[in-house]
Amino acid sequence: MIENAHQEAFDVLVTNRETLDRLVEELLENETLNKEEIAVIFKKVKKVKPRAAWTGSQNRIPSNQPPVALKPAKIKVSEEDKVVKKASAKKSDKDVNE
């Protein structure tokens, strides 16, 4: 399975070598490209035929268990942050009063 995926990736890169070379040339010339510029270059990408996703075998069937539910991140505020916020608040109060 890994060897097949490796070969498929290699074939895609070889097939699209001209487009990849153009991307390299543009990046060497401009250093950065925006989304629209990249889209123009990638318009010529030759796509591979879609294939069915590998979802298991007789010995390995996909799990019915859902992914882990994510909780909102908790932001830890350090004592240093509290001091900086207080100092900033005092400065802005001072600016308002002046």
98 pLDDT higher than 60: no
Residues with Cβ within 8 Å of residue 33, at least 6 apart in sequence: 26, 27, 41
70-85 in b/e form (b: 16+ CB < 10 A) is: eeeeeeeeeeeeeeee
Tell me how far apart the alpha carbons of residues 15 and 47 are, in angstroms, rounded to a whole number: 9
Query: Residue 87 in contact with residue 51, Cβ under 8 Å?
Result: no
Q: Which tens digits make up the pLDDT trace of 4-55?
A: 889 999 999 999 999 999 999 999 999 999 999 999 999 999 988 888 777 7
CA nearest 44: which of 8, 18, 9?
A: 18
Cβ-defined contacts of 34-40 (< 8 Å, 24+): none
How far is residue 62's CA from residue 60's CA, in Å, rounded to a whole number? 7
